[in-house]
Structure 1
Amino acid sequence: MGRWERALDAAGVREAGLRADYGRQREQVARYKREVALAADLLLPARTVPHVIAAAAFMHRTDTLLDSGPLAERRAASARWQRLVTDSLAAGRTDDPELRPLLNSVAAHPVLRDRVLDFLAATGADLDFTGFATEEDHQAYIDGYSLPGFMVVAALLGPDGDQGDYRAACRTFIDGSQRLDFVNDLAEDLAEGRLTIPEQTLREHGVTRADLEQARDLPAVRALLAALLDRADRSLAEGRAVIDRVPPAHRPMVRCIVGVEELTSAAARADLGALLRRSAGPAKPAALRLLAREYLRARRLRG
């Protein structure tokens, strides 16, 4: 019996059709986020892995609907999906093979239900996104979209019972993670007509949108990108507090999540000018060392 089959057994997923549904979602997650599927498989307790896969697959499906096609079509598709998920949760059952794992995972981890509903309610913030005028707008986006999205999976890794302190730590971490994403994905976002740096911040650094769109590798542009990464790094450093707020068995996975963000920031900082043309990724040797280190920790925790 393979690792995945043992994980399904440990999670109490016995019915053949449901196991197949989880298996398809595992394949989906492996296609678009192979590192997430691999890390979950290696670092988390077996009983948690299928539920994290189901939550990640739900996030991917929702994000795909938000990102695909003209705005009117995206808005309609998102509304249909929201009704389907909400009605299925209310009924406690569904015939949709893409939702059956989610509903089963909600039954196993009731905290997931509210986090799913929170995220569905937040999707309008992304659909309506037109840019940020001020830092306050950025913070509102974090509260209104980024944090609800992050908590769909994060809730499964957090403590049982009250997650208030844990959620606050997640808020600090996701502020840094989202800032990093905005800098790292700058070229891609601009190509799609999205500017994710507040206009106020551009003015403070004497940089224009045209400077960024035309990939002008100017000293002021580099200073702007470095300042944005500095702020992201400060939030990520403070957000490391999230590690101590999860159960010990989940800490290898959470340390890996935090560590990948730190490695990505270091890669972005190594060539600021390149961010005007492409995203940066963590160095593979460093990422493999991180994964190996946390895998050994996870094995020791399991005895």
Structure 2
Amino acid sequence: MHTWGRTLTTAGIHDPRLRDDYTRQRRLVSGYRRNAYIAVRLLLPPELAPHVIAATAFMHHTDLLADQPDGGDGFAAWEKEVRDGLAVGDSAHPVLRPLLHTASVHPGLREHAERFLAGAPMDRDFSGFADEAGYQRYVDAYSLPAFMLVACLVLSPDADADDSRALCRSYIDGSQRLDFVNDLAEDLGDGRLTLPEETLTRHEVSRSDLERKRDTPHCRALFRDLLEQSRRDLLAGRSLPELAPPAHRAFVRAFVALELLTNDAALAKGGRVLHESAGPSPRAALGVLIREYRRRGRR
């Protein structure tokens, strides 16, 4: 694995200010997405790694602003700054500046950044889902554009557009559903119920049951049903590596495998997800990364 300085140089990032920006985002991403960050550093070509990190940092920063209880003022200012930056191709903001540089190297990123930004108000103004259709609209408007910020960098631009969208859509549907179950404790603490009311009613579970952390058979059946549905969609994502260039396939395989491990961990946790989220064991996650690193080396 290249040193970070050499990685930036290999990626053609020479300006000292830009190098500082990418380095700052690298530290942040490694803090909140540790397994994904290690996968980027181990499994992607060094010329691509900083760009994936910049896209991930932009997505995370936007998501945080959309969730802030400030009446949307912070997000509105950020939205204007992003649109102004996209218009002129530069910005003084340490999150936006590297993203704009990445977009100059990978022009396809611009369209996905605009779509993600356009969909972010759905997360900012989130008030719950009445039914599955409402959840699916959220996936189309916000979750899928967020995922495409990274997917557009690691999948082949020559891949069939319909196949690529269908597989990405299936994968992110499974991933988002997993997140909503796995993050229940945190979301409910913030006053957000992210499971459709229709689904709760079908399983005879109330919002009060979840808020009071009642580990009942009905709650466990609800979580099991949602996580099994999530797993089916994630499994469809195992075909995503076929749409990536050979040098990127180990990373895409690891990305999908780590999410499936998280799904397994949430299933095993059952009703305890009402108290804390689940994640793969360090040993299991490391096993995935080592396997793909060796496979990449043999290739």
Q: TM-score, normalised by structure 2?
A: 0.95
- Structure 1 position 91 matched with structure 2 position 92: no
Corresponding letter in the other structure for 1:49: A
Summarize deviations over 1:12-45 as a string: whole Å, max 9, x none. Answer: 1122222122111111212222222221111001
CA shift for structure 1 position 99 = 2.1
CA distance in 2, matches of 1:171, 1:18: 33
For residues 118 and 101 of structure 1, the distance between their equivalents in structure 2, rounded to whole angstroms, comes to 18
Q: Mark the runs of 5 or more structure 2 residues left unpaired by the alignment.
A: none
The yes-or-no answer on 1:252 pairing with 2:250 is: yes
Residue 9 (str. 1) matches residue 6 (str. 2):
no
SS in 2 for 1:271: helix
Identity level (%): 51
Q: For the residues of structure 2 that align with 1:217 and 1:97, how far apart are their CA atoms?
A: 44
Alignment of 1:111-260 (within 5 A): 111-161=108-158, 163-260=161-258
Q: Deviations over 1:77-98 (max 9, x none)?
A: 1111111111111112223333
The Cα shift of 1:71 comes to 4.2
1:81 corresponds, among 78, 82, 102, to 78
Contact 1:44 1:298 in 2 (8 A): no
Deviations 1:158-214 (A, max 9, x none): 112464421221100000001111111112111111111111111111111111111
What is the identity, as a one-letter code, of the residue corresponding to 2:297? R
- The equivalent of 2:24 in structure 1 is 24
Answer whether contact 2:10 2:47 (CA < 8 A) is retained.
Answer: yes
The alpha-carbon deviation at position 271 of structure 1 amounts to 2.5
Aligned to 2:99: 102
Instruction: Provide the C-alpha distance between the structure 2 equivalents of 1:208 and 1:231, rounded to a whole number of angstroms.
Output: 20
Letter in 2 for 1:179: R
When residues 18 and 270 of structure 1 are mapped into structure 2, their CA distance, relative to the original with a 3 A threshold, is same
Partner-residue secondary structure (3-state), 2:193: coil
Structure 1 residue 263: Cα displacement: 0.7
| Secondary structure of the structure 1 residue equivalent to 2:113 | helix
Paired positions, count = 298
Give the C-alpha shift of residue 236 in structure 1: 0.8
1:16 to 1:243, Cα distance in 2 relative to 1, 3 A: same
Q: Distance in 1 between matches of 2:17 and 2:295?
A: 34
User: Quick check: 190-199 or 105-114, which moved more?
Assistant: 190-199
Q: Which runs of 5+ in 1 are unaligned?
A: none
Tell whether the 8 Å contact from 1:94 to 1:100 is kept in structure 2 after alignment: yes
Counterpart contact for 1:22–1:101, Cα < 8 Å: yes
- Cα deviation 1:45-83 (Å, max 9, x = unaligned): 111001111111111211121123x241xx111111111
1:283 pairs, out of 281, 289, 295, with: 281
Moved more, 136-145 or 28-37: 28-37
What's the C-alpha RMSD, in Å, of the aligned pairs? 1.5
Which shifted more, 1-10 or 229-238? 1-10
Q: Which residue of 2 aligns with 1:264?
A: 262
Aligned residue in 2 for 1:297? 295
Q: Return 242-251 or 103-112, whichever deviates more.
A: 242-251
Q: Could you tell me which residue of structure 2 aligns to residue 53 of structure 1? A: 53
Kindly provide the amino acid, as one letter, of the partner of residue 15 in structure 2. Answer: E
Instruction: Tell me whether 269-278 or 48-57 shows the greater mean CA deviation.
Output: 269-278
User: Distance between the aligned counterparts of 1:2 and 1:176, measured in 2?
Assistant: 33
Q: Secondary structure at the match of 1:228?
A: helix
Which of 260, 272, 287 lines up with 1:274 in the alignment? 272
Structure 1 range deviating more: 26-35 or 118-127? 26-35
TM-score, normalised by the number of residues in structure 1: 0.94
* Contact persistence 2:67–2:123 (CA under 8 A): no
